[in-house]
A and B are shown apart, each in its own frame.
Chain A
Amino acid sequence: MALTEADVRHVALLARLGLTDAQVAGLKTELNSILEHIDQLQHLDLDGVEPTTHAVPLTNAMRDDVVVPGLSQARALENAPEQRDGAFLIPRIVGPGGGA
């Protein structure tokens, strides 16, 4: 089943990617070519096969419940594009002019 440009735009919305019309057109062709190859998996009979999420079997890894120093606030803010009063600054998301 081939992807349409509307499908590509929907996936781009999910991925939070603001694509140009030219990018959407290009990706439609490229993704369909890749998906055509990947679709060979649909022809495999894998009923009853357990999925593998990790190659090495691991049970829960527990550590002692002790307090250890983490990243400091100053370090965590070091790469912030904008910050104020020890917090990350973002555009308004509620009230007048808020998006979302």
Chain B
Amino acid sequence: MMSAVNMPGAGVGAAGAGATATDELFFLTADEINARVLSGDLTARQVADAFLARIDAVDPELHIFNQVTPELARTAADAIDAAIAGGADADELGPLAGVPVAFKDNMNLLGTRTTCSSRILENYESVYDCTAVRRLLDAHTIPLGKLNMDEFAFGSSTENSAFGPTKNPWDPTRVPGGSSGGSGACVAAGLATITLGSDTGGSIRQPGCFTGTVALKPTYGRVSRYGCVAFASSLDQIGPFAHTVRDAAYTLNAICGHDPHDATSVDAPAQDFAAACDLDPAGLRVAIATDMLERAGLDPRIKQGVLDAAEMLSRAGAEIVEVTLPSTDYGLSAYYIVGPAEASSNLARFDGIRYGVRATDADDVMDLYFRSRAQGFGPETIRRIMIGTYALSAGYYDAYYGQAQKARTVIKGDYDRVFAQADVLLTPTSPTTAFAIGEKSSDPLEMYLSDIFTIPINLAGVAGMSVPTTLIDGLPSSVQVICGHFNERQLFRAAAALERALDFPYASVPVATGTAGN
């Protein structure tokens, strides 16, 4: 266990000895940091420097960052300070001005490498900006760097990173989840206030669960995917990690909306998701899936957490509806065809010709492909490419990909049926709390099974948020709040009400200060 413990003040009311003004920053919410910067209580530069110093102290132990960007951070911070000195007010700068952010390392940002935690892209320099990243930076945030992940987002633990695993800030012997493990761990450890991740089958929500952070996968099409290296184009979606539901809402406000660079981004009407956090939950129709709660392998304490969450919303005036989702059983199978099939196609571009690592000893161009790809990709990436290529190959297409797309229709129909009678659905996010590093890495199928509750959400294209509930044996657990297509206002309404009732102690994370031996 950890020896050096630092419990910054916000939320627990007890800053460590020798605390200074900036020591208390790390677990403030985005709106609290924003208020302090806009009021002149702190400069954005002080915020940037404080977080950069904390990253230096903490990251060597937890390995959350693939790249820290002090120059980009200080340049952005100085621009914010200059704007404030020039008279810019809250209306101009917005609710995220001065807030430190960081990005999963599959999102392009000029001036940074975008590695996808893969050897094949270890030296790849971004040549344009990801739209969601650009929009968050245009909201006057402070970019601190790029975050570790499972290679090309293939995984549920961040152990598949070519650069080594990220450790869970709540217990460094455990995984932070994945594939956006760095994004969850970064917020949990107080190394940034908001991060972005991407979610293809649970890659935002499951690390959100394991790290005790609020983590949202928006409706497919809500956020542009432009500039986020594609895994499965019909499933991928970018979303935020934050300490609070309201911070996630500010972030979605900033990054959502149509983008001409992504034809699948939907021109949905502008909605204020932060305002939705203040809506009264009375009258909300809340579904619980009784069959999902009976699944083998579900920790009974996590099941109880879902029932408790429903009870809390019921006490606040919500109406509880019991539903079933019989298609859950084959969601995993459909996903492990559709996901790898699309991935095998998307990853064909990494061939050592135009970018990425090229094998040096190739005889001819075919040999160059074989060697560059086999040397550049890690074992799980090779596995997914192989499954996907097989499922798409001559003679098997109809039996696998065609059948999976039909199953997807049935799964989507299940969720349409639920959201015809309820505004939101509550399920577990993960069947267990964070598992130990190494515990599941030898059996790919067992690792896949840990995503049973999150995968159908991507297949149906609806939105889901992991909301931290309580600590179980010192590790975070969560409930997944799901809503129908483009109905995130009801999701935020429910999640914010739950958050108020739950009061999850996110600032009590026992993060070592970097000098501790673990």
Contact = CB atoms under 8 A, between A and B. Distances in A.
A75 interface: yes
A65 B460 CA distance: 33
Contacts of B221: 56, 58
A71 B128 contact: yes
Interface string A1-32: 00100011001101111110001000100110
A67 interface: no
Nearest to B388: A15
Contacts of A12: 386
A24 to B, nearest CB: 10
A8 B390 CA distance: 9
Interface stretch (B60-68, B179-187, B242-250, B397-405): B397-405
Interface residues of B, number: 72
Contact of A51 (B366, B400, B408): B408
A83 to B, nearest CB: 9
Chain A interface, >50% SS class: loop
B351 A16 contact: yes
B410 A99 contact: no
B455 to A, nearest CB: 13
Interface stretch (B278-286, B356-364, B431-439): B356-364
Contact of A15 (B234, B332, B389): B389
Interface in A47-100: 49-56, 58, 61, 63, 71, 75-76, 78-82, 88, 90-93, 97-100
Nearest to A10: B393
A93 B363 CA distance: 11
A100 to B, nearest CB: 6
A37 B445 contact: yes
Contacts of B387: 31, 34-35
- For the residues of B in contact with A, the DSSP-based class is helix
B374 A18 contact: yes
Contacts of A58: 221, 263-264, 266
A81 B459 CA distance: 37
B195 to A, nearest CB: 25
Contacts of A17: 370, 373-374, 377, 382, 385-386
B354 A88 contact: yes
Contacts of B263: 58, 61
B334 interface: yes
B386 A51 contact: no
A33 B445 contact: yes
Nearest to B127: A75
A38 B348 CA distance: 23
A34 B336 CA distance: 8
B122 to A, nearest CB: 11
A35 B340 CA distance: 12
Contacts of A88: 353-354
A67 to B, nearest CB: 14
Interface string B328-360: 011011101100000010001001111111100
Contact of B407 (A30, A46, A79): A46
Contact of A38 (B125, B336, B410): B336
B41 to A, nearest CB: 41
B406 A56 contact: no
Contact of B408 (A19, A52, A79): A52
Interface in B104-163: 123-125, 127-128
A55 B461 contact: yes
B220 A56 contact: yes
Given A17-B374, A41-B330, A56-B485, A91 B127 contact: no
A78 B390 contact: no
Nearest to A83: B354
A39 B354 CA distance: 37
A44 B403 contact: yes
B345 to A, nearest CB: 10
Given A17-B385, A19-B374, A46 B127 contact: no
A5 to B, nearest CB: 13
Contacts of A93: 364-365
A36 B125 CA distance: 40
B225 interface: no
B365 to A, nearest CB: 5
Interface string B445-475: 1001000000000111110000000000000
Contacts of A49: 406, 409-410
B368 A23 contact: no
Given A58-B221, A80-B355, A53 B405 contact: yes
B371 interface: yes
B407 A41 contact: yes
A8 B389 CA distance: 10
B440 interface: no
A37 B336 contact: yes
A81 B127 CA distance: 15
Given A41-B407, A51-B408, 14 more contacts: A15-B385, A18-B373, A27-B382, A27-B386, A33-B445, A44-B403, A55-B412, A56-B266, A58-B264, A61-B264, A79-B125, A79-B356, A91-B364, A92-B364
6 contacts: A17-B382, A33-B444, A37-B332, A54-B220, A58-B266, A81-B356
Closest 8 CB pairs of A and B: A55-B461, A99-B364, A18-B370, A51-B405, A79-B355, A81-B358, A61-B263, A46-B406
Interface of B: 123-125, 127-128, 219-221, 234, 260, 263-264, 266, 329-330, 332-334, 336-337, 344, 348, 351-358, 362-371, 373-374, 377, 382-383, 385-387, 389-390, 393, 399-400, 402-410, 412, 444-445, 448, 458-462, 485
